[in-house]
Structure 1
Amino acid sequence: MLNIYYIILVSFLFTNEKKDINSEFKTPLYAIVRSNISDSDLIKVLEHPHIEGITYYVGWSKLNPDEHIYDFSSLKKILNLAKKHNKKVNFGVLTGRWSPNWLKDKKIKYLYWEHFDDYVEAGNVSLAEAPVPWDKRFNHFFEVFLLKLKIIVDQNEDVLNAIEITGGSNTNGIETNFICSDKEFKRVGFRYSKYIKNWEQIIDTFVKLFPNTVLTLAIHDVYGVRRTDLVSKELIAYCDLKYSERIKIAAFAFSEEQWFSKGNQYADLVLQLHPNDIMLQSIRIYSNVNTTNDSFNQMLLKADKIGPMWLEIWSEDIIAGFLNLK
């Protein structure tokens, strides 16, 4: 009987050990860092030998807490530390529900929905609000902010790898989705043509303000309670027609799971493009779920076969020791 228990224990330990990935792994890796990361964890990520750089997310509200107050200290800190460690930086300003509260005094129309995320957040349902992204006042104030951000970008072009095009959606401002109930969908007057046109204007603004930095656009296929690839296909075609290689198309739901493969509506949006025109981001924080790092490794290897310009993984997984390249 003891032998049986011993075999079971050894089997358990073996299946939960952290396995290394072959050194032939070629895809550049960027660690996703959010503004709440501790200094010690940030240094651990920056010192990891297999990390090309970091992807830094910070809310617009943190950088622009009052209409005429701009605080870029957190961004400057990231850029300086990355430069010190000879790393590159991808940067994205979160709008949507991360937009500053002072916008509420500007007669901007708002959208409300029940927010849920169990991939990188706690999985709780909460009432969320955000400016309607095609509101002209919202776009005006965001462009004023971007003009201030441009000063920082121009001073640090040598350390920047890419800037994410943001401002067009309600959840985080990045992915080209629009999540809400059907009732809210109708209340705010959502129309696909209007939504696409607004994203095109935002793309034009980013290209104009940041002419020397690669830009990324994160596609999606969820609008209200429906799925369609119409919006992303239109925006991909727009980017290709006007800006060719300047803009990389991003998939922020990349997974080792079978669904992310040719034939899936969402996956096809990037898989039909040349690998040099896309980048991928892991769909989840693997270390936050009850699993071994095998799934994480499978995700890495799957990305390497696709061969994107780079792959973004969550810093929490790196800190937990999931990234083991020989």
Structure 2
Amino acid sequence: MVKETTGLSRWKEQLFTKDDPLHLHKTLGFACLLSYAFRFARAGAEQDMGFATHPEWTIPTILLHLSLNLSSLEFKIPTQRITTDGGRIWPQYRLHSLVFLSRSLACLVANHWRRQQTDSDKSILHLWIVLGTMAAGDWASNSVGKHRSNSIRDLKGPVLVKYYFSLTQFLATAMTLVLGWKPRSSVHFYFCFVIQLTAFLMTLRRKHLVSHGINIVLYALLLGVGIAVAMNECRILYPDSLLTFLEIVALVGFTAALWRMGPWPNIVRPIINNKYMIWTAVYFFSGNYLRPVLDAADGDAEAFFLTKSQVKGLAWGEVGVVILFGVYKYFGSEIQISATLSTKD
């Protein structure tokens, strides 16, 4: 009878396998951990996780973290998502992980280049990065054919938790656009951390080293810390207008979320619900009508289309709508589940 390994021996047995005979993926993973430690130790206004003080290490850092995701392509994984016992990596997710990691890395490249420019505003680069990411994500989804599975909507978990995950994804895209107004890199690098750590946690789940419930809790905490990191960046960028900046981020993110997830009639959904149109529209609206309010010495000046007080009202109004929509989704799902159970009975 073979004795089952436990503790650290079990972790070593499960993580050091013949699937990575040259230990390339593990070596890159360990190097990325050192990279995160180096960068996080240099968080703050002046260093910007070292991207401002050590620009010569920016491109090597980008290549290192990109290589980690590329090296994961060597592993054989199920062609179809397994949802019976929680989240595991499947082909579409692996491609999406690479795509969205590339979005954050592309923002790091853009910021690295912009720090060397002084002639004009290049924030539109972040819009092109966002749109390019969406196109790459659509290609990745289509490439798996009938085995498509939405990361959040098909997740095994409570409705409100999935709603929270969806909203934070919209806020992450909003931060990608709004932080393009000034070349700061810390938030983008933290996004890389969330993406790569989440993939590792899903690997641990596949090897039965952690439970699905623990992974959901850890992912929720990672997103919460991400919000805190973003708030700190807002404080650094606009110390005298922190609340206004946060309200603008919320306004941009929640506008896109409600526009995208709203209960539109099926006949108009393909037109109204176009994500490329949505993010392009909110980008130009925020740049032309919200950014001037933030940059103004007096946000209530009559020269601007919106005042600070109006932005505040719109933002908090949308927060209320988002909460109500979450309640609607929760009770709507409960009613649907009850109807399904009664039909089975």
| Greater RCO, 1 or 2 (C-alpha within 8 Å, sep 6+) | 1
TM-score (structure 1 length as normaliser): 0.26
Structure with greater strand share of residues: 1
Largest Rg, 1 or 2: 2
Structure with greater helix share of residues: 2
TM-score (structure 2 length as normaliser): 0.25
